[in-house]
């Protein structure tokens, strides 16, 4: 692997391929696979990830917003693209770029059908989202007749799929609730198929759904975090490979005396002679202030160096007293010897938030080996 000469996020497409094959192996081979690439591919490199997913044989990719779908189309991605949360202000560009909307209420269904009719569309693919307990977005079970009524009354749109989202698929204590969601979804599907003249694809599983409820894979699964190497539990993390490694370098080393302080507000005071390393990465890059003052550390030459003092906007300082290192040496923040899950946990958050929070100021580099 190349040595970093600046702060960068290394995106390992070989790891992505490993994770893809692992997740696919959990479900029957005829189950379709949707790779979720919202939020810039969970903070990685959305175009690089989408191209690789296409090469691997993914059936769909999904983004949250229309602008994200347009960026993929402009980069030449030809896979079907589902948009989880389209905004009506951009429906016309959604149609223009052949992006497929999730429609989650009577209001948006009506609005989208009228746009599709206005643009003379025929059988434009849409995805119907039902609420089975998450209570975030979704049509209710009682609205099935309204939905089929609207669909049967137009030929401008056609349901490519019917789906729902699990709220606690990673949590075994909520197994009863999850099974209930799956049952509700099945009931909705039966009622819907009864009244439509065709059978859209069905899907409900996200990554932890694939891992913990593979029997509920239906026709397609939607995986995000697992593709990026995180499985929401230790035993799964071990089978997956982190795609993103956040690397930086040592800008400067200081040898400070007992009683000397480091950084803003003098938040760190040396209790003994201390060797510190200053790194060019800070909260503006996504390493929040929560991570300061010994909460977590980085790896230098395979050794753990705690972050000392307050995280600055553009820099952090680390204690490297016991590490044989010099200015210009490579530093690993997460990925490699320290998973994003462990780093995130120290800051009271989850891998999802940490990796999607690495700001666009950090250069992305794709590698494949």
Ligand X SMILES: *Cc1c(COP(=O)(O)O)cnc(C)c1O
Which active-site residues does the annotation give?
38, 264
From the CB of 95, what's the least distance to ligand X, in Å? 21
- CB 277 → ligand X: shortest distance, Å? 34
The CA-based angle 254-260-264, given to 5 degrees, is: 85
Binding residue (CB under 6 A) for ligand X from 131, 223, 338, 341 = 223
Residue 315 is assigned to a ligand binding site: no
**Burial category of 278 from C-beta neighbours within 10 Å (exposed 0-12, middle 13-18, buried 19 and up):** middle
* Binding to ligand X, residues 69-88 (CB under 6 A): 84
30 SS3 class: coil
* From candidates 165, 241, 247, 364, binder to ligand X by CB under 6 A: 165
Residue 131 found at the interface with ligand X (CB under 6 A): no
Provide the H-helix boundaries in the chain: 13-25, 38-43, 46-56, 66-74, 91-96, 106-118, 144-152, 175-195, 207-212, 234-237, 340-346, 351-356
Q: Is 275 helix (H, G, I), strand (E, B) or coil?
A: strand
Question: Of 70-78, 147-155, 173-181, 224-232, which segment contacts ligand X by CB under 6 A?
Answer: 224-232
Residue 205 or 287 with smaller CB distance to ligand X: 205
> What's the DSSP call for residue 280?
S
Please name the residue that has the structure tokens 């005071």. 269
Least Å distance, CB 225 to ligand X, is: 4
Q: How far is the CB of 264 from ligand X (least distance, A)?
A: 35
C-alpha distance from residue 243 to each of 174, 273, 279, 330, 367 (Å): 29, 38, 22, 18, 10
Give the Cα separation of 232 and 351 in Å (integer). 8
**CA–CA separation, 347 and 360 (whole Å):** 21
206 counts as binding ligand X under rule CB under 6 A: yes
Neighbours of 118 (CB within 10 A): 12
Partner residues linked to 124 by β-bridges = 157
Q: Does 225 bind ligand X (CB under 6 A)?
A: yes
Tell me if 242 contacts ligand X by CB under 6 A. Answer: no
Our CB check for ligand X shows the closer of 42 and 268 to be 42
Contact residue for ligand X among 26, 32, 127, 222 (CB under 6 A):
222
CB of 138 to ligand X, least distance (A): 10
Based on the number of CB atoms within 10 Å of its own CB, is 233 exposed (0-12), middle (13-18) or buried (19 or more)? middle
The size of the interface with ligand X (CB under 6 A), counted in residues, is 11
Residue 147 lies near ligand X (rule: CB under 6 A)? no
Part of the chain binding ligand X (CB under 6 A), chosen from 11-19, 93-101, 221-229, 237-245: 221-229
Residue 36 engages ligand X in binding (rule: CB under 6 A): yes
- Interface with ligand X includes 207 (CB under 6 A)? yes
Question: Nearer Cβ to ligand X, position 121 or 232?
Answer: 232
By rule CB under 6 A, what string of x and - marks binding of each residue 37-66 to ligand X?
-x----------------------------
72 is written with which tokens? 């993929």
Distances (CA, A) of 307 to 3, 241, 245, 254, 262: 22, 25, 18, 14, 11
Nearest-approach distance from CB 214 to ligand X, in angstroms: 14
Binding of ligand X by 221 (CB under 6 A): no
The residue sitting closest to ligand X, measured at its beta carbon, is 224
Q: Binding residue per annotation — 146? A: no
- DSSP letter for 357, please: T
Q: How far is CA 230 from the centre of its chain?
A: 10
Indicate whether 103 belongs to the interface with ligand X (CB under 6 A): no
Q: Is residue 182 classed as helix, strand or coil in its secondary structure?
A: helix
Work out whether 224 is an interface residue with ligand X (CB under 6 A).
yes
Residues at the annotated binding site? 136, 313
Residues at the annotated binding site for substrate? 136, 313
Binding site for ligand X (CB under 6 A): 36, 38, 84, 165, 206-207, 222-226
């Amino acid at each position: 692997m190349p040595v970093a000469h600046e702060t960068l996020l290394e995106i390992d497409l070989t790891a992505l391929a490993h994770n893809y094959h692992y997740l696919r192996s959990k479900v029957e081979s005829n189950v379709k696979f949707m790779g979720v690439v919202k939020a810039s591919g969970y903070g990685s490199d959305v175009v690089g990830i989408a191209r690789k997913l296409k090469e691997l044989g993914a059936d769909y990719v999904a983004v949250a917003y229309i602008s994200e779908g347009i960026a993929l189309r402009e980069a030449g991605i030809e896979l079907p693209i589902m948009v989880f949360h389209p905004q009506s202000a951009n429906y016309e560009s959604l149609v223009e770029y052949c992006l497929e909307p999730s429609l989650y209420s009577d209001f948006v269904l009506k609005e989208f059908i009228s746009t599709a009719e206005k643009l003379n569309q025929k059988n434009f693919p849409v995805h119907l989202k039902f609420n089975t307990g998450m209570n975030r977005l979704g049509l209710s079970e009682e609205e099935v007749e309204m939905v089929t009524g609207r669909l049967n009354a137009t030929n401008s749109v056609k349901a490519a799929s019917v789906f729902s989202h699990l709220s606690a698929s990673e949590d075994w204590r909520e197994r009863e609730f999850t099974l209930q969601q799956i049952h509700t979804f099945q009931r909705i599907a039966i009622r819907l198929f009864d009244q439509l003249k065709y059978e859209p694809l069905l899907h409900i599983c996200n990554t932890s759904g694939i891992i913990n409820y593979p029997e509920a894979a239906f026709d397609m699964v939607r995986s995000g975090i697992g593709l990026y190497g995180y499985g929401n539990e230790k035993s799964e993390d071990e089978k997956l490979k982190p795609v993103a490694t956040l690397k930086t370098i040592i800008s400067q080393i200081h040898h400070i005396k007992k009683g000397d302080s480091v950084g803003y507000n003098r938040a760190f005071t040396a209790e003994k002679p201390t060797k510190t390393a200053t790194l060019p990465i800070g909260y503006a890059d996504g390493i929040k202030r929560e991570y300061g003052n010994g909460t977590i550390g980085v790896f230098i030459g395979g050794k753990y160096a705690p972050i000392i003092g307050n995280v600055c906007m553009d820099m952090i300082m680390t204690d490297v007293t016991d590490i044989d290192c010099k200015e210009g040496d490579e530093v690993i923040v997460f990925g490699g010897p320290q998973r994003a899950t462990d780093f995130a946990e120290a800051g009271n958050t989850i891998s999802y938030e940490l990796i999607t929070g690495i700001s666009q100021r950090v250069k992305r580099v794709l590698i494949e080996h």
